[in-house]
Amino acid sequence: MTTKTNRLLLDSLSRRDALKMMGALSVAGLGELAFPEVATALGGKSKQRPNIIFILGDNHNANLIGCAGHPFIKTPGMDRLAREGVIFEKTFNTTSLCSPSRASILTGAYAHRHGVRNNHTPWTGQMTTFLEHLSNNGYDTAFIGKWHMPGKGLPDMPFLDLFVSYTYREGQGSYFNCPMIVNGEEMPSRREYITEEVTDWAIEFMETKRTERNGKDSPFCIYLSHRPGHPPCEAPKDLRGMYDNVKLDLPKEIDSWWFGKMNQNVFQGIMMGSYEDQYRKYCEVITAMDRDIEHLLDKVDESGLGDNTIVVYLGDNGMQWGTHGRHGIREPYEESARLPFIVRAPGLIQDPGSRREQMALNIDMAPTLLDLAGIPVPTEMDGKSLLPILKDIGVEGRKAFLMEFWKYYPENTPSYMGVRTETHKYIEFEKGREPWLFDLINDPRELNNLFGTADGEKLLPILKRILQEQSANASVFSNS
């Protein structure tokens, strides 16, 4: 590392360090009672708390992973993560949009509570992030990569030991030579490609903390936020064209040259050329991200931290590629709402390579990570810890969750509120559309709206009751 980088990583004697020292002493005072099960499982006989690496993808369709059954994409890193851990097959965001989902991941709360309701609503910091809870309890913390929530520049997060992000191009950044902001100081990218740049920062932070640790209980948490697969997608030169000759299975009804530019789909800066070519580029950048995930996993294991480090991969929202005549996110279809979610926790997970069918949510991330660290889950969080399900495939999961969305310019999707249960989905729109009611068991592609039918009338009362229970004290509609 350069002297400048070393200084940025080792900046010390600040308020956040004092807070962490007090938190570490508090946890240490609890002895083995605070986190014996997780620490022992992950670290053998050691009672050290686990390190955590949380990796976030962007616009990543849940099926776009090799181990999820995709017909051609190459994702050996994520496949390895699933082989050595577990993959959750029914994971969802609660608001199908980037900024609200990211705020929900950090806070464990629904959008109607944390306040980031769309991509134009500023982050307020009105709710405490799981990173701050970890920091206050003795963890060294780093946020590295894409922030992508509205506001004036990057937020003030003094509890972080390392904050590496960017504001370039309204926070979307660029795939190549993206200028970075490191602990408030602007600097050029050290690596040409964005996933390599942020991964290097994560590895350096991990190696620095491993050296500092020296057998002491001073664990770290790295929040590594990637740009792929946000448009316009640009892969490294050596990966370009790798999927040019594969057969695609995109919806046959789409117009390959004009779909996405018109027909109620907002132009996203990616549709110059054929739709098939854009999908191939999307797959290329996911593979590029995956390569750096595998590189990070190698470094974790080579450093000797693998047995005591939890690695999580999650997407912020899904992505529609022509299904239901739509491109992108926002709509409450499964392709928009479903997320890829994989957890590797050696020793804790007794059945590596298995799958979990229980429903998991983006709001469950914060409580799960705190629970894994032996920190009590704050009552203000709406999500629930998934630790019991990680340990035991037979533990019962949630039965339903709330879906919410606030219309914003220039998008055409109206405000909506609804529920998804284990078997059905019911959505009410503020205006312009009749409600949706889908039987997800018999109609998994959501092609047959049962609202207004005899079957739908039988289901409607119980689904309305569930919606009322899930949406208590919440509404997306302007007249309520």
**Cα Dmax for the chain:** 71
Q: Please say if the pLDDT value at position 1 is more than 80.
A: no
3-state helix, strand, coil in the chain (%, to 5): 35, 20, 50
What's the confidence (pLDDT) of residue 211?
A: 75
Confidence band, pLDDT 50/70/90 cuts, at residue 447: very high
CATH number at residue 139: 3.40.720.10
Residue 349: give the domain boundaries.
Answer: 3-398
Same domain, 369 and 456: no
- 478 found inside a domain: no
Q: Which of 373, 398, 423 is the last residue of a domain?
A: 398
The residue type found at 444 is P
What's the confidence (pLDDT) of residue 297?
A: 98
Q: Which of 372, 398, 424 is the last residue of a domain?
A: 398
Mean pLDDT on 333-355: 96
Q: Which of 339, 370, 398 is the last residue of a domain?
A: 398
Same domain, 392 and 421: no
Confidence band, pLDDT 50/70/90 cuts, at residue 257: low
Q: Please say if the pLDDT value at position 164 is more than 60.
A: yes
- Per the model's pLDDT, the better-predicted residue between 131 and 10 turns out to be 131
- Per the model's pLDDT, the better-predicted residue between 29 and 140 turns out to be 140
- 158 found inside a domain: yes
- 428 found inside a domain: yes
What's the confidence (pLDDT) of residue 15?
A: 45
- 307 found inside a domain: yes
Q: Please say if the pLDDT value at position 477 is more than 80.
A: no
Same domain, 377 and 464: no
384-422 core/surface letters (b: 16 or more CB in 10 A; e: else): bbbbebbbeeeeebbebbbbbbbbeeebebebbbbbbbe
Name, of 203-212, 219-228, 256-265, the range with top average pLDDT.
219-228
Average model confidence (pLDDT) across the chain: 88
Please identify which residue in the block is written with the tokens 């009322």.
468
Mean pLDDT on 433-438: 97
Pairing of strands 162-165, 180-182: antiparallel
What's the confidence (pLDDT) of residue 472?
A: 85
Same domain, 374 and 447: no
Strand arrangement, sheet containing 436-439: 400-405, 416-421, 424-429, 436-439
- 476 found inside a domain: no
141 Rama class: left (phi>0) / alpha (psi -120 to 50) / beta: beta
Q: What is the dihedral of CA 346, 349, 354, 357, to 10 degrees?
A: -140
What's the confidence (pLDDT) of residue 37?
A: 60
- 377 found inside a domain: yes
Confidence band, pLDDT 50/70/90 cuts, at residue 412: confident
Considering only CA atoms, which of 334, 332, 324, 227 is closest in space to residue 282? 227
Same domain, 91 and 115: yes
Number of separate domains in the chain: 2
Q: Please say if the pLDDT value at position 27 is more than 70.
A: no
- Cα-Cα end-to-end distance for the chain: 55
- 108 found inside a domain: yes
Q: Please say if the pLDDT value at position 353 is more than 80.
A: yes
Same domain, 427 and 353: no
Same domain, 370 and 427: no
Q: Are the CB atoms for 109 and 127 separated by under 8 Å?
A: yes
- C-alpha pair distances (Å), 443 with each of 147, 254, 328, 424, 428: 36, 21, 22, 9, 19
Confidence band, pLDDT 50/70/90 cuts, at residue 14: very low
What's the confidence (pLDDT) of residue 207?
A: 93
* DSSP secondary structure code for residue 363 in this structure: G
- Per the model's pLDDT, the better-predicted residue between 69 and 261 turns out to be 69
Confidence band, pLDDT 50/70/90 cuts, at residue 265: low
Mean pLDDT on 371-394: 97
Residues in the chain: 480
- 365 found inside a domain: yes
Same domain, 457 and 310: no
Q: Are the CB atoms for 443 and 436 separated by under 8 Å?
A: no
Q: How many CB atoms lie under 10 A from the CB of residue 152?
A: 8
- C-alpha pair distances (Å), 31 with each of 28, 43, 47, 213, 218: 5, 16, 9, 18, 14
Which helix or strand (DSSP H or E) is residue 54 part of? strand 51-57
Confidence band, pLDDT 50/70/90 cuts, at residue 260: low
pLDDT digits (tens, 9 = 90+) for 280-304: 999 999 999 999 999 999 999 999 9
Range of lowest pLDDT (140-144, 175-179, 190-194, 257-261): 257-261
Same domain, 140 and 273: yes
Mean pLDDT on 312-334: 93
Considering only CA atoms, which of 395, 394, 271 is closest in space to residue 385? 395
Q: How many CB atoms lie under 10 A from the CB of residue 238?
A: 9
229 cis-preceded (ω within 30 degrees of 0)? yes
Considering only CA atoms, which of 207, 413, 404, 245 is closest in space to residue 326? 413
Same domain, 388 and 429: no
Q: How far apart are CA 423 and CA 440, in angstroms?
A: 5
What's the confidence (pLDDT) of residue 404?
A: 97
What's the confidence (pLDDT) of residue 338?
A: 97
What's the confidence (pLDDT) of residue 45?
A: 45
Q: Please say if the pLDDT value at position 252 is more than 50.
A: yes
Same domain, 116 and 140: yes
Confidence band, pLDDT 50/70/90 cuts, at residue 154: very high
Mean pLDDT on 171-182: 95
Same domain, 64 and 174: yes
Confidence band, pLDDT 50/70/90 cuts, at residue 65: very high
What's the confidence (pLDDT) of residue 74?
A: 98
Q: How far is CA 342 from the centre of its chain?
A: 10
Query: How large a percentage of the chain has pLDDT more than 90?
Result: 74
